[in-house]
Structures are given as C-alpha cells and as structure tokens.
Amino acid sequence: MPLNDILTDGPKLIMVGGKGGVGKTTCASAIALEAATQKRRVLIISSDPTPSLSDIFELHIGSTEKRILRDLDLYGLEISSDVILNKWKDTFGDEIYEVISSFANVEYDFVDYIGTAPGIEEEYMLHFIIELVEASKYDLVVWDTAPAGHTLKLLKLPQLFLKHMEAATKFYMNLYSYFEKIKDAIRLKESKKTLLEIIASWEKLAEKIVSFIRDTKKTRYVIVTIPEALGVSLTERVIREFRENGLSVDYIIINNVIREADCEFHKIRKKMQESYIRMLAERYSYIKLVELPLFPEEVKGYRKIEKICKLLFPK
C-alpha cells in the first residue's frame, strides 16, 4: 500500500521517526518533495545533530530556513540541540528565571540547566513548528526527527516538568499566604503577571501542543523501519509509547526490502525479511504498511529522492 493518502486533508505536520540509519531522512525528504510538487509550501526540518538534509539534497542548509529548489516551494532547516536550546531560552528563559528566582536564589545559568531536562527539546520543536504553521508561513512541516529510540517522550515529560513547577510554586505561595491578602497579587518584577498566571500560561501552551499533536487532521506519524529483529522491536516499542500517549502511528515504511534475490546470500536475507514483514502486517493490521526496496546505491541528490518519491507515491 503506497503513501499517497498521507497528504489528504492537508495535514500541517508529518513526523518521521525510527531507529538510527533506517532511512528517516530519505523518506522525510521524499514526502516533502511530493508535497511541494503538489504545490504546497513545505518546510522540512531535521533535528539531527549531523547535517543530514544538506547531505541528501547536496547543498548547505543550516540553521536558518533555506529554499532547496528553485521551482518548488520546498524549504529546509537543520536545527541542532544547542540551537533549539538557545531559541527556547530566548522565548521562555526570562519568564522561567523570573518565576524560579522569585522563590529560590538561583543564577540565570539555572535556566540552561532546566533546558536540558528531557522532553524540553521536543516540546520546544513542537512549539516552534506550531508557531510556523499558525503564522501560515508553510502549509506543511515535515519533521525528520533525531535518531533516538524514544522519539516521543514529548508528552509525558514537559507535563511532568510543569506539574513539578506548579507544585513548587504552590508550595511557596502557601508560605506567602501568611500575607493572605497579597497572595494572588504577588507580581513579578518584569512581566507584571502573577506567578500563578505565568504557570497557567505555560500549562495552556502545553495543552495547545498536546491537542495539536493529537489532532489527526493536522498531524500524521510515520515510522521508518527495516525488516530485521531490531527494527521490528523498536517499532513495537514506539507504537506502544504512542498509544500510551493517546497518539497513533499512521504509516510504517519498511525500508531496504529485497525484491529480487538471485544468489543464495540474498535468498536467505529475503526469506528473513519476509518473516519480519509478515509479523508487522499481522500485528499492525490497522496501520498502513508501505514497502520500499533496497537500492544498490545510496540515496543522494534530487534525482534519487525523486525516484523514492515515485515509489512512495505511485501515480
């Protein structure tokens, strides 16, 4: 089954995840190219520490949005963890510092420390993507995620972090409640908002992100895998994590599939692959499986991506 209907109803975000080296960047690039060919304004973002988009499109992309093709509205952005952390700090740093420093004696560096909390990076990326989408700058963002085994801790952890902040703040508010009357009126120096107002605005933001990523009209999730034991077990884990977070995987792309085996070596591999493909098909009959053949050569450059595109989106 091909990938054609992934663009139906105009999703705003397509997230491509999976184990390291299985073909995430390759597939994300092909999906982005197809959407741009269909006249959408598309941004492909890679949050990989290595400049993988630059590699595959054979041009320097980097950490500011860059047009990839002259004739199509296809843009790219490579954004590493430290760039994300800096952007996060620019957006939320002052407020967070204000809140914490109102009840604890900490240096501003503490904000850096908070920024390294697990889940912050993903949440910030989503925040960043939602802002782009809401500003109507792009019709679609394709996110080629970093090769972490657990791409999607992004729901639980930011919420835990917020809960923690909220609890700490409430605790200090209770101390302040000696001054019962001024309790709700403790205003922070800069923002003129009360502590609880700020916490409430963070919560609202987290809720907005959660409802965006759970909105099946706006988001689609693709897992790329290979028909081998490790690929299959990681896929199972990701699907389970997704489910626990109220998300569902829409497509599994099984990459590197051997189509024709004309020697003993490939015959054995093909047989092994078939058993894993069958396993995935039986276990996940409700998810669309898309097979992509193994090529003798690597996928590099526009022509090759186009070739993948034609296989994933047959006309």
Least separation, in Å, of the C-beta of 48 and ligand ATP? Answer: 5
Q: How far is the CB of 50 from Mg ion (least distance, A)?
A: 8
Query: Smaller CB distance to Mg ion: residue 53 or 188?
Result: 53
Of 7, 1, 5, the residue nearest 290 (C-alpha): 1
- Cβ closer to Mg ion: 16 or 42? 16
> Which residue's beta carbon is nearest to the bound ligand ATP?
147
Residues 11, 17, 147, 227: which binds ligand ATP (CB under 6 A)? Answer: 147
Backbone angles phi, psi at 215, to 5 degrees: -80, 105
Interaction between residue 225 and Mg ion (CB under 5 A): no
Total of residues contacting ligand ATP (CB under 6 A): 19
Residue 118 and residue 88 in contact, taking contact as beta carbons nearer than 8 Å? no
The verdict on 52 binding Mg ion (CB under 5 A) reads yes
Tell me the window of 44-52, 175-183, 191-199, 217-225 that interacts with Mg ion (CB under 5 A): 44-52
Residue whose token pair is 């034609």:
310
* Beta-bridge mates of residue 15: 143, 221
For residue 26, the partner it binds in ligand ATP, Mg ion, none, with Cβ less than 5 to 8 A by kind, is ligand ATP
In Å, what is the CA distance from 135 to each residue of 35, 308, 313? 19, 31, 29
Q: End-to-end distance of the chain based on CA atoms, in angstroms? A: 13
- The residue written with tokens 């923690």 in the block is 164
Interacting span for ligand ATP (CB under 6 A) from 24-32, 113-121, 156-164, 266-274: 24-32
Distance from C-alpha of 102 to C-alpha of 56, rounded to nearest angstrom: 48
Q: Applying CB under 6 A, which residues contact ligand ATP?
A: 18, 20-26, 48, 52, 147, 255-256, 292, 294-295, 298-300
